[in-house]
């Protein structure tokens, strides 16, 4: 079993925040691949399904971003999953809007959801699906930016990115991460 975690905040008023792109990605994956209805478990919402022959548990922690690790650790412990079977889908300031990268391990880079996961799992070597939202330009503007809603001007690239991630998910599930990144990049490239 693989555990795919979307990072976000549970308040309905925050549903369209840039910080919630991880939740958005899991919603599209669940819908596209016919996952079970969402249900409350592990201090979060879970949905179960299969992609590429792999059983996958989707998890949206309802603990707020800063405590996401509590939910992730509870699910990982219950299923006795190594951190290498966990992937966190999260917003990434250091990637241009609509870009995506996958990496294993690394620092939290100021992301409180990742920081909480690192602390609760005790090992930062889980996979990160970094979903680019761009940077507002100055450090002082970051908090308002990530907690701000996506605008109308973001709709085209956001929908394209979320669709590409869902359409390519079998490559991620079957441990073909470079192919997953390449296919998402191909599906999201601007027409020339």
Per-residue confidence (pLDDT) for residue 192, from 0 to 100: 60
Dihedral of CA 57/104/166/110: which sign?
positive
What is the reported pTM? 0.96
Domain 2-188 in CATH 3.40.50.1100? The answer is: no
Cα-flanking dihedrals φ and ψ of residue 124, to 5°? -85, 10
User: d(Cα 86, Cα 5) in Å, to the nearest integer?
Assistant: 7
Q: How far is residue 16 from each of residues 37, 52, 75, 131, measured CA to CA in Å?
A: 21, 29, 26, 15
Domain boundaries, the chain: 2-188
Pairing of strands 127-132, 86-92: parallel
Per-residue confidence (pLDDT) for residue 191, from 0 to 100: 66
Q: How far is residue 182 from each of residues 67, 135, 169, measured CA to CA in Å?
A: 32, 23, 12
Contact of 97 with 134, CB cutoff 8 Å: yes
Selected catalytic residue, list 19, 33, 90, 111: 19
| Residue 111 falls in the annotated catalytic set | no
Residue 39 class from Cβ within 10 Å (0-12 exposed, 13-18 middle, 19+ buried)?
A: exposed
Q: What does the pLDDT profile of the chain (192 residues) look like in tens digits?
A: 999 999 999 999 999 999 999 999 999 999 999 999 999 999 999 999 999 999 999 999 999 999 999 999 999 999 999 999 999 999 999 999 999 999 999 988 889 999 999 999 999 999 999 999 999 999 999 999 999 999 999 999 999 999 999 999 999 999 999 999 999 999 998 766
Cα-flanking dihedrals φ and ψ of residue 184, to 5°? -60, -45
Per-residue confidence (pLDDT) for residue 190, from 0 to 100: 74
């Amino acid at each position: 079993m693989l555990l795919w975690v979307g990072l976000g905040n549970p308040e309905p008023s925050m549903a369209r925040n840039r910080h919630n792109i991880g939740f958005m990605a899991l919603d599209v994956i669940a819908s596209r691949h016919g996952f079970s209805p969402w249900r409350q478990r592990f201090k979060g919402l879970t949905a179960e399904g299969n992609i590429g022959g792999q059983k996958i548990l989707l998890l949206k922690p309802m603990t707020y971003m800063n405590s996401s690790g509590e939910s992730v650790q509870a699910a990982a412990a219950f299923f006795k999953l190594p951190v290498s079977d966990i992937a966190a889908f999260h917003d990434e300031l250091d990637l241009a809007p609509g870009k995506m990268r996958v990496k294993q391990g690394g620092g939290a880079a100021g992301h409180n959801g990742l920081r909480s996961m690192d602390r609760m799992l005790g090992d930062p070597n889980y996979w990160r699906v970094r979903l680019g939202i761009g940077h507002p330009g100055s450090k002082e503007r970051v908090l308002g930016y990530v907690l701000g809603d996506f605008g109308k001007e973001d709709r085209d690239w956001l929908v394209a990115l979320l669709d590409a991630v869902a359409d390519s998910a079998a490559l991620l599930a079957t441990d073909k991460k470079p192919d997953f990144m390449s296919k998402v990049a191909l599906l999201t490239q601007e027409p020339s």
